[in-house]
Structure 1
Amino acid sequence: MTRLTGTVYLIDDDNSMRDSLARMLRDIGYSIQDFESATSFLQNSLPVAPAVIVLDMQMPDVSGLDLMERLDKLGRKTPIVFLSGQSHPQQIVKGLKKGALDFLFKPFNINELLQAIDQALDYDHKQLKRNLKDGEIKRNFSSLTPREKEVCTLLVEGLMNKEIAERLGTTDATIKVHKARVMEKMQAHSLQDLVKFYLESNLA
């Protein structure tokens, strides 16, 4: 099986478990950053993508769920796969609600871990692409003049050229020119594209 390339942040206070997992995952071909605590991870990790955090749920300094909440506040959206030595239903439900991609219970099957890592890396790769596209759309929108932004918004609302002209107190021909510039600057090949870009990137 061809595996996705990416970084695995391995966080576990069990030194022997962490060392053996880190060695195995490096041998497979992943880039590994390993940490003995959540605090060490927060202080020393280098944000990269695509990546996955393989995180022990129960740690003495900062728990896995606490780290998850801190990362969310920091805006770090790296997907998380939790490892747990015992079942804590409430914690599992809370973690899943906050966006954890998977939970594995020790001792776990190594193939299950590899599958979870690959799924998380695939998710983060797609997330990275979405973020890059979103940034491009927002830059394109910022390049519009104030009047072009007005026209763009009214096009997204479903108004026809004539209706937009009446709304803005100008001519149909002028709106056609603005519309053409909007479509070009937004790199939209159709009105459907324009609406999709506008809504998905929350340009309102």
Structure 2
Amino acid sequence: MNVKSNLIGTVYLIDDDDSMRSSLSRMLRDVGYLVYDYQSASSFLTSNKLVCPAVILLDMQMPDITGLDLMERLEKIGFTTPIIFLSGQSHPQEIVKGLKKGALDFLFKPFNLEELLNAIRDALEYDQKQFKRILKVSEIKKNFNTLTPREKEVCALLVEGLMNKEIAERLGTTDATIKVHKARVMEKMRASSLQDLVRYHLELN
């Protein structure tokens, strides 16, 4: 799936209740959201739409694949769009399990319109931040892969807190050589300080 930025915000609505799905889709479109609605989890899984920021409004109880089952499947394939569960009847254990697995919210039908819109707004803001972080990590990985094997060794020792002289002794080379490697590491990683380099290294791990 290709990811595209959509600043308006996209809502994926998955609910087997035709009446609920139709009225909720219409309401969300009226307030400006781009809405894709699905009658089942299976139909959602076969779709090829993925934008950002987005949120999934997911009915907990569906006949083919339950909301929790779908959430687990999405997690396995690396799908990170935030999920808000909707339910008319759910056991406390299901609610706890869903929230523990990362659902952002859980709303009971019939829900308050303002409550729903607030939950959607929070989820979209979360997804936008998450998307930016993914892009940043991707950039860091790309920069890290430009390092030579020796530069990667120097980078690892720098983030451990070793001084140039200590790194030189560890790698069996001179202080001057390490200074050159360090400068190249900082340049390639686009790190303006050692603190930046440490933070980037943590992001990679």
Interval containing the TM-score (normalised by the shorter chain): over 0.9
The equivalent position to 1:121 in structure 2, one of 121, 124, 130, is 124
* Structure 1 residues 148-201: Cα deviation after superposition (integer angstroms, max 9, x where no partner): 100000000110000001111111111111101100110111101100100122
In structure 2, which of residues 21, 28, 31 is the aligned counterpart of residue 28 of structure 1? 31
One-letter code aligned to 1:54 = L
User: CA–CA distance in 1 between the matches of 2:31 and 2:128?
Assistant: 19
Question: Percent identity among equivalent residues?
Answer: 76
One-letter code aligned to 2:146: S
**1:195 and 2:190 matched:** no
Out of 143, 146, 164, which is 1:143 matched to? Answer: 146
| Greater share of residues in strand | 2
Unmatched segments (≥5 aa) in structure 1: none
> Which amino acid letter does the alignment assign opposite residue 127 of structure 2?
D
Conservation of the 8 A alpha-carbon contact between 2:60 and 2:90:
no
Once the 2 structures are TM-superposed, how far is the Cα of residue 86 of structure 1 from its aligned partner?
Answer: 1.9
**Secondary structure of 2:51's match?**
coil
Kindly indicate whether residue 12 of structure 2 is the aligned counterpart of residue 9 of structure 1: yes
Distance, in Å, in 2 between the alignment partners of 1:201 and 1:176 is 23
Matched position secondary structure for 1:108: coil
Take 2:38 and 2:98, find their aligned partners in 1: how far apart are those partners?
Answer: 20
| Partner AA of 1:20 in structure 2 | S
Structure 1 equivalent of residue 102 of structure 2: 99
1:48 Cα deviation (Å)?
1.6
Structure 1 moving runs of 4+ over 2 Å: none
2:4 aligns with: none
What is the CA-CA distance between 1:5 and the residue it aligns to? 2.1
State the 1:87 CA deviation.
3.8
SS at match of 1:159: coil
**Maintained 8 Å contact 1:6/1:49:** yes
| Aligned match for 2:160, one of 134, 157, 169 | 157
Quote the residue 1:84 is aligned against. Answer: 87
Task: Report the 3-state secondary structure (helix = DSSP H, G, I; strand = E; otherwise coil) of the residue aligned with 1:139.
Answer: helix
What secondary structure, in the 3-state scheme, does the structure 2 residue paired with 1:184 have? helix
- AA aligned to 1:32 is V
Aligned partners of 1:44, 1:171: CA distance in 2, in Å?
57
SS in 2 for 1:5: strand
Counterpart contact for 1:137–1:186, Cα < 8 Å: yes
Is residue 2:130 matched to residue 1:109?
no
Q: Does 1:43 align with 2:24?
A: no
Work out the CA distance in 2 between the residues paired with 1:45 and 1:139. 27
3-state SS, counterpart of residue 44 of structure 1: coil
1:33 touches 1:45 (CA, 8 Å); kept in 2? Answer: no
Matches of 1:186 and 1:194, distance apart in 2? 7
Give unpaired runs (5+ residues) of structure 2.
Answer: 1-6
* RMSD over equivalenced CA pairs, Å: 0.9
Equivalent position amino acid for 2:94 in 1: Q
Q: Secondary structure at the match of 2:8?
A: coil
Deviation at 1:45, TM superposition (A): 4.3
- 3-state SS in 2 of match to 1:81: strand
